[in-house]
């Protein structure tokens, strides 16, 4: 038993390096997409200090809007532009109807508001688009199909799906661009000021309402990109909301306010899930990919509750 746990998995990695690299690639792609999902949560948390329970359904809603417009005869790229506009309208509506009346309210009130928003979007989405899974219009948007195989001499080959490569590249570009935007621009500095203290930000002339609208719109763009990438790898359905909550262990690892933390946390979860499922999953009957991320997050909570890049908060009592 000890051999199966501590030795045999590493023997398999050495004996079949091609398969191990394949597992690492799958983990990398999943980790980058988890990081992209987590980024939406980070943006909202930095601006309002509350966990956005609605980010998962925003991923689904954006994907369904894009597919729904195309099914009704709108060309793919025009449908993409219109979906961006829909997410902008949604962000403006959330700021005006949900967030603005709750300025300076306790965090639990804001959390409950995002839960209410979640169920509103679920009901509205099912009413407009129906509850059946839909095919993402990946080819119509110019996303690549097929695969490329890399031979490793006599040790086998590694197969890379083109859609996975595109997903990884797009996710990296978006994460990098948003990181630069929120760390190097005036709006980014205003965002950090709002995150630190709403009242102090208001006192120096920062428009809290404007910042919240911008951040929710950015989170909507992230949700759209996530919906496209995840939908292209499977389909677009309300089940994607469950996948989006894999961002929670990513946030616990990286910290709720750190963009680099979202990236590192996503990669840790992605690699950990795939390696754990392939090399250790059989020891417990398989299926550990669905819960291993939460076990990893629990271990981090025990030793570093603020995450790898989160700020340690000390309160005087």
Q: Which residues pair with 148 in a beta bridge?
A: 160
Mean pLDDT of the region 65-88 = 94
For residue 315, pLDDT over 60 is answered with no
Q: Which two tokens stand for residue 85?
A: 């506009």
Q: Which residues pair with 159 in a beta bridge?
A: 149
Q: Name the strand (E) or helix (H) holding 31.
A: helix 17-48
Lowest mean pLDDT segment, chosen from 8-12, 189-193, 249-253, 266-270? 189-193
Helices 17-48 & 259-275, crossing angle to 10 degrees? 150
Q: Please give the C-alpha separations between residue 43 and each of 38, 58, 77, 151, in angstroms, as whole numbers.
A: 9, 14, 26, 41
Q: Which residues pair with 147 in a beta bridge?
A: 161
Helices 76-93 & 208-233, crossing angle to 10 degrees? 140
Residues in the chain: 317
Three-state SS at 172: helix
> What does the alpha-carbon distance between residue 276 and residue 265 come to, in Å, rounded to a whole number?
16
Handedness of CA 180, 207, 46, 191 (dihedral sign): positive
Q: Which residues contact 50 (CB under 8 A, 6 or more apart)?
A: 44, 107, 110, 111, 114
> What does the alpha-carbon distance between residue 72 and residue 145 come to, in Å, rounded to a whole number?
24
For residue 62, pLDDT over 90 is answered with yes
Lowest mean pLDDT segment, chosen from 102-106, 262-266, 285-289, 313-317? 313-317
Q: Which two tokens stand for residue 313?
A: 């908060």
Mean pLDDT of the region 252-268 = 87
Q: Which two tokens stand for residue 63?
A: 């994907």
More confident residue, 4 or 12: 12
Q: Please give the C-alpha separations between residue 207 and each of 89, 191, 202, 219, in angstroms, as whole numbers.
A: 19, 10, 6, 18
Q: Which residues contact 130 (CB under 8 A, 6 or more apart)?
A: none
For residue 204, pLDDT over 80 is answered with no
For residue 307, report the phi and psi dihedrals to the nearest 5 degrees. 85, 175
Q: Which two tokens stand for residue 74?
A: 């709108």
Q: Which two tokens stand for residue 263?
A: 């990236």
The radius of gyration computed from the CA coordinates of the chain, to the nearest angstrom, equals 21
Give pLDDT, residue 283.
Answer: 83
> What does the alpha-carbon distance between residue 200 and residue 104 come to, in Å, rounded to a whole number?
12
Residue 104: DSSP 8-state: T
Mean pLDDT of the region 55-76 = 93
Give pLDDT, residue 312.
Answer: 63
């Amino acid at each position: 038993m000890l051999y199966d746990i501590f030795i045999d998995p590493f023997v398999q990695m050495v004996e079949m390096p091609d398969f191990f690299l394949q597992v690492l690639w799958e983990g990398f792609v999943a980790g980058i997409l988890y990081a992209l999902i987590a980024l939406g949560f980070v943006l909202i948390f930095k601006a309002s200090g509350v966990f956005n329970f609605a980010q998962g359904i925003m991923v689904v809603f954006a994907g369904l809007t894009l597919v729904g417009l195309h099914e009704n005869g709108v060309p793919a790229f025009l449908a993409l532009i219109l979906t961006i506009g829909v997410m902008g309208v949604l962000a403006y509506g959330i700021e005006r109807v949900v967030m603005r009346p709750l300025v300076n309210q306790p965090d639990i009130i804001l959390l409950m508001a995002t839960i209410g928003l979640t169920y509103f979007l679920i009901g509205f989405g099912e009413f407009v688009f129906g509850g059946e899974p839909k095919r993402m219009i990946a080819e119509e948007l110019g996303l690549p199909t097929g695969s490329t195989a890399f031979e490793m001499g006599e040790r086998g080959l590694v197969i890379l799906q083109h859609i996975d490569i595109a997903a990884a590249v797009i996710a990296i570009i978006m994460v990098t661009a948003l990181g630069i935007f929120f760390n190097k621009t005036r709006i980014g500095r205003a965002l950090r000021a709002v995150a630190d203290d709403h009242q102090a930000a208001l006192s120096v002339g920062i428009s809290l309402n404007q910042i919240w609208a911008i951040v929710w719109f950015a989170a909507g763009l992230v949700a759209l990109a996530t919906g496209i990438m995840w939908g292209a790898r499977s389909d677009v359905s309300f089940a994607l909301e469950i996948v989006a909550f894999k961002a929670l262990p990513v946030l616990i690892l990286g910290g709720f306010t750190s963009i680099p933390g979202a990236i590192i946390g996503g990669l840790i979860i992605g690699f950990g899930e795939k390696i754990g499922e392939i090399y250790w999953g059989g020891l417990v009957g398989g299926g550990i990919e669905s819960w291993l991320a939460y076990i990893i997050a629990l271990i981090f909570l025990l030793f570093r509750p603020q995450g790898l890049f989160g700020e340690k908060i000390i309160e005087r009592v």
